[in-house]
């Protein structure tokens, strides 16, 4: 432990959340430290997934841990340059939320099972199949790397409603920060 820093999570709307993140060239000490910070920030929030663009870093890395049972061991995962290489025809609907869009939830339909390829923190390529909440989460986080939010899967009216609520929240937070 030690040296981990909680990072500030960007709130929608923010242009950095709409940008496509860059591929990561090599896994080095700096990147491993960033992964530690991201996991720490995700657990602290608390959330089950966090993508680097959400802390303003436009690189293709995400962290997740979808173990919901507090008595079960945590399963922190770090995915570098993740890519979906297969998906089921079967779909699954989940009431999604996002650390960049606090307190807003909506049902999103996605493939129920996905096969994902990525580079691990040891620099080695990994392939794994995800289902259940893990499948929803990994797709949601990979969307972030492509500048896409879960609300982009919704009908425009619903998306605009959530965005307006977020604009209001950000104005309130800015006012509070100003007034101390």
* Residues recognised as catalytic: 141
The least CB distance from residue 142 to Ni ion, in Å, is: 11
Options 38-46, 73-81, 97-105, 151-159: segment touching Ni ion (CB under 5 A): 97-105
Q: Is 11 in the site for Ni ion (CB under 5 A)?
A: no
CA 179, CA 148: separation in Å to the nearest integer? 33
Dist CA 92 CA 118 (whole Å): 23
Strand (E) positions, the chain?
Answer: 49-51, 61-64, 77-87, 91-98, 101-111, 114-119, 125-130
Neighbours of 29 (CB within 10 A): 7
Instruction: Count Cβ atoms within 10 A of the Cβ of residue 134 and give its class: 0-12 exposed, 13-18 middle, 19 or more buried.
Output: buried
Nearer to Ni ion, 35 or 98 (CB): 98
Instruction: Tell me the number of residues near Ni ion by CB under 5 A.
Output: 1
The yes or no reply on residue 98 touching Ni ion (CB under 5 A) is yes
Q: Near Ni ion by CB under 5 A, which window of 10-18, 26-34, 95-103, 152-160?
A: 95-103
Nearer to Ni ion, 27 or 162 (CB): 162
Q: Does 9 bind Ni ion (CB under 5 A)?
A: no
Q: Where does this chain bind Ni ion (CB under 5 A)? A: 98
């Amino acid at each position: 432990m030690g040296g981990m820093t909680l990072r500030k999570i960007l709130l929608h709307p923010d242009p950095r959340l709409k940008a496509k993140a860059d591929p990561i060239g090599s896994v080095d000490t700096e990147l491993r430290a960033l992964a530690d910070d991201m996991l720490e920030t995700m657990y602290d929030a608390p959330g089950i997934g966090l993508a680097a663009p959400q802390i303003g870093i436009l690189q293709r890395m995400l962290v997740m841990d979808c173990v919901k049972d507090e008595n079960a061991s945590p399963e922190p995962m770090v995915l570098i340059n993740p890519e979906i290489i297969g998906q089921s025809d079967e779909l699954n609907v989940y009431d999604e939320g996002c650390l960049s869009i606090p307190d807003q939830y909506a049902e999103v339909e996605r493939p129920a099972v996905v096969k994902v390829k990525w580079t691990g923190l040891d620099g080695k390529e990994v392939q794994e199949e995800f289902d259940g909440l893990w499948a929803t989460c990994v797709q949601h986080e990979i969307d972030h790397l492509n500048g896409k939010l879960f609300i982009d899967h919704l009908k425009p009216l619903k998306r605009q409603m959530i965005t307006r609520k977020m604009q209001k929240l950000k104005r309130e937070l800015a006012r509070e920060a100003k007034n101390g």
